[in-house]
Each structure stands twice: as C-alpha cells, then as structure tokens.
Amino acid sequence: MRNLQEIIERIERKLKGGRYLLNLSLEESLAVEVKSGEACEVEHLREGGLGLSVELPGGRVGFTSATFGDEPPEVELLCERAIAAAKVASAVRGSSLPEILGKPKDKSLDILDPLYLNFTPDVALSYAAEAEREAYGVDKRVTSVRRARCEGGVTKNVVAVAGGHYSWEESGYSLSLETGAREGDEGESSWAQGEARILSYLDPCSIGRESGERAVGLLGGELPISGRYAVVLDSRVALDMLDVFGFSLIGENVTRGKSLLAGRVGKRIFSDKLTIVDDGLLPGGLNSSPLDGEGSAKGRTACVEGGVLNAFLYDRRSAAEAGVSTTGNGGGGLASPVEPSSTNLFIDCGEGPSREQLVQSLNTGVLISEVMGLHTIDPISGQFSLGFSGHLIRGGEIFAPLTGGTISGNILDLFNNVELVGGDLRFQGGFGAPSLLLSGVEIAGQ
C-alpha cells in the first residue's frame, strides 16, 4: 500500500484541506490460456487506477481519472484537472462529497484468498487444462475447445476523503471455455464460466463438463411448436433476466421516470415465491466490500420480499434527490464518477429443488437453457422478445433439443408466473439466481 499512501499524501498537500473523494486500486494478476493442454498465452498485469472528485464552494464537483503502472501518476496535475472540471460544473442537489467515511460493518466478507500468493502460471494452466480435458471427455462429438482460460489475482483498494481513508484487499479468479460439438454437417457451441473469490472454490471439472454437455445437447435441435408452456428457466437464464430487471431497482432511474416500478413500493409486483436481495456484504460475493465507492458502509437491502416491492438502491446523491438515506450502493468511482448500482443482486432461495427435480415435476414443458438478444429488452417497459435454445420436456424427462424458438412477454409478467424457486443458486458477476419453474410462457416456433 506504500504507493497508494504516497498518492493520498500528495493529494492532500495539493488541495490544502479542500473536500475531495478518492478511489484508488492497485491490481496484480495473471492469466493463462490453454490449447491442447499447453499454455498458448500467458499474461501478467500490474496496473493501478485512480478516480478523483474535488468539490469547490457552492457544491460544484469535478472529476478526473487515470491509470498508472509501477510509478505513481502525476497527482498534482490530476488535482488541477479535477478543479478545472469543478469550475465549469453546475451545482447538483445531493452531490456534496462526504466529509467522513462510513463505519464498515463488523462482518467477515471472505473476499481475500489467504493463498493468493500461490497462484502461479503453472496453477492457472492446470485449472484451464483440466477444464479442457473434461469438456473433451463429455462425448466423442465434442470436436473443439477454444479459449480455455484461467485468470486471477489480488487488488488493493483505498477510499479516501479529507477526513480519513480506509483500505482493504480482495482476490478474484475466473475460469472459462467455449466448446464446439459436431454431428454430420451440424455444429453447435456453448460456453461455461466460473468465478470465485477463493481459487479452491472453482471446480474446473464441473465447468468443463457443463460447457461440453451444453454444446452436445444442442445437436439435432428443432423449432418448438408455438404455444404457452410451463417452463424451467435455467439459472444462467434467470440471472440474465434479473440483470436486466435490476435497472428498475436503481433509485435514480425511479426518480427520473426510467423505471417500470415507480410508485409501486408496498405493492405486489411478482409471484409471492420471489424474494430479491442486494447484499454488498455477501460472504464471497464478487461485488462485496466494506465500503462503496463514496465511502458509505455497504449493507443488505431486501428489494422484493415475497413478491412485494420494498425498496430501491441509492448512493448519496440519488438518495438526497429522493429524500431518503443511501443504501451503500455507490458504484464505480475509478474510471467514472460514483453512480448508484447494485452490488450482489440475487434471487434468494433456500433448500429448494434442483433443476433436474423441476424438470421431473412437469409432464409437458420446456427447459430454456440459453437466450439470445438480451440487449434488445426495453428496461423501461420490460417488454422482451428473445431467441432461445433448450429442450422439450415430456413425462418429467428431457425429451428433445430445441433451437430457433422465441419467448416473448413482459419481465414483470415473467417473474409473476414463478411457481417454484430452485435451490441451485449460481452467480455470474454481480447477479445470482437459481433455476425457476414458470407457468404460461409464450413460445413461438412452428
């Protein structure tokens, strides 16, 4: 942390007691990509990031950012740039920078791997190679594995204001690959990825097997017959839909008329089976940390409980605009100014059924394992029309692969039709969901 402490001291000397907000990070990581069990690419990264906001009298705030390597950036010049930006900025209600930092909650976050120093290129290679072997071993129809890649490292973080600073370290690892399968003239591909704060939590065998099984499972796919179906949403699809819905839970979007949830706090919006939580202190969460980007203590917010909308997510500025308190959801602060964002947003579940058990509960239905076109969903209206691939379900069993079909509707209706919540919670980035059983999903095909 020596370089980071030096940067703070230089900023304070330059600003002479003026109000500021500083976000600093220093990342050291490595990545290995494997082909046929051998390393084909090895990358080492050591990079720092800095985001600085400066407040002038009258509530005008300016922001600047920089990246740096082993040598600290030109801090004095960055201060001057932030001041210059503040001079031409307009005062915004609630944009005043914090004078003191929040007090982190006394909770173990499990975000730093105690063995991170043992993560070497050889270790990364072994993880990626094992996933590659497992994918090839799924079926003789698996013909290729691309971009089998393992990466990870540790990041040192600092949030500082004129009244003090707070620092912490965190680690992170990921393993991903893309698998191709072929039968005759037909070819399909699929990918799988795992992420974790602790390296030992990554399972290369299951990640490789998932990628291979998904690719093989798509072979021979046909168009579904159009109609309304009971549907099992794979956890990957459920978390993708939650990602899109999360836009409407940001308080700033509500205040500015961009959320489909405006005016609905205290009302039932979903099935009573659904509870959606944002937890910035989730142990092992990929977006867990003691403080948010503006130095407020992170916490846990039950946004939807039993289908009823309870709360939105705010940083200091958006909370001031809405006349409420921050929920500790100030995101960013390095490459761009802090703005409200979710942390670890997930559909809460207990010891629910597995995806396989959800499938077994249906006489006729559809398993949707992947959707295409998520970027086309209108986050303001909630309307969607998405391509999908998956399987027809008959007699409680996977019957035949489906490709080229379309699901359409409104995201509120989709989540309102949840009949059962699975227990197979998985996370991708800052979003998590289990598999879901839904009724009355409109599917178009032939």
Answer whether 232's CB lies under 8 Å from 368's CB.
yes
Domains of the chain: 2-215 (3.30.2290.10), 220-242+350-444 (no CATH), 256-347 (no CATH)
Residue 242 pLDDT > 70: yes
Cα 11 to Cα 72, 84, 86, 345, 419: the distances in Å are 12, 15, 16, 35, 55
Average of per-residue pLDDT across 373-388: 92
CB-facing half-sphere around the CA of 312: CA atoms within 13 A: 26
pLDDT of residue 59: 87
Percent of the chain at pLDDT exceeding 70 = 99
Average of per-residue pLDDT across 150-155: 98
pLDDT of residue 94: 67
pLDDT of residue 292: 98
Instruction: Tell me which of 26-35, 67-76, 235-244 is least confident.
Output: 67-76
Identify the three-state secondary structure at position 221: coil
Q: How much is the mean pLDDT over the chain?
A: 95
The total of other beta-carbon atoms located within 10 Å of residue 256's CB is: 12
* Calpha distance 289→283 (Å, rounded): 9
pLDDT (tens digit per residue) in 51-73: 999 999 888 999 999 999 888 88
Q: Computed from CA positions of residues 84, 89, 91, 92, in that sequence, does the dihedral angle turn out positive or negative?
A: negative
* Calpha distance 205→216 (Å, rounded): 16
CB-facing half-sphere around the CA of 342: CA atoms within 13 A: 28
Residue 1 pLDDT > 70: no
Residue 3 pLDDT > 80: no
β-bridge mates for residue 384, sequence order: 409
The string of DSSP codes covering 155-170 is EEEEEEETTEEEEEEE
* Calpha distance 367→236 (Å, rounded): 12
pLDDT of residue 379: 86
Helix 75-87 crosses helix 2-15 at what angle (to 10 degrees)? Answer: 50
**Residue from 117, 144, 149 nearest 130 by CA:** 149
The total of other beta-carbon atoms located within 10 Å of residue 185's CB is: 5
The total of other beta-carbon atoms located within 10 Å of residue 378's CB is: 12
pLDDT of residue 157: 96
**Residue from 190, 196, 186 nearest 208 by CA:** 190
Please name the residues in contact with 38: beta carbons below 8 A apart, sequence gap of 6 or more: 129
Residue with tokens 């029309």: 385
Please name the residues in contact with 71: beta carbons below 8 A apart, sequence gap of 6 or more: none
CB-facing half-sphere around the CA of 49: CA atoms within 13 A: 16
Residue 274 pLDDT > 60: yes
Looking only at the bridges linking them, the beta strands covering 436-444 and 418-421 are antiparallel
Looking only at the bridges linking them, the beta strands covering 300-305 and 276-279 are antiparallel
How remote is the C-alpha of 241 from its chain's centroid? Answer: 12
The string of DSSP codes covering 172-185 is EEEEEEEEEEEETT
Answer whether 85's CB lies under 8 Å from 369's CB.
no
* Calpha distance 319→250 (Å, rounded): 10
- At 92, is the pLDDT very low, low, confident or very high (cuts 50, 70, 90)? confident
pLDDT (tens digit per residue) in 331-376: 999 999 999 999 999 999 988 999 999 999 999 999 999 999 998 9
pLDDT of residue 2: 57
pLDDT (tens digit per residue) in 100-113: 999 999 889 999 99
Answer whether 293's CB lies under 8 Å from 316's CB.
no
pLDDT of residue 169: 97
β-bridge mates for residue 169, sequence order: 156
CA-based R_g, the chain, Å: 24
Distance in angstroms between the alpha carbons of the first and the last residue of the chain: 61
Residue 128 pLDDT > 80: yes
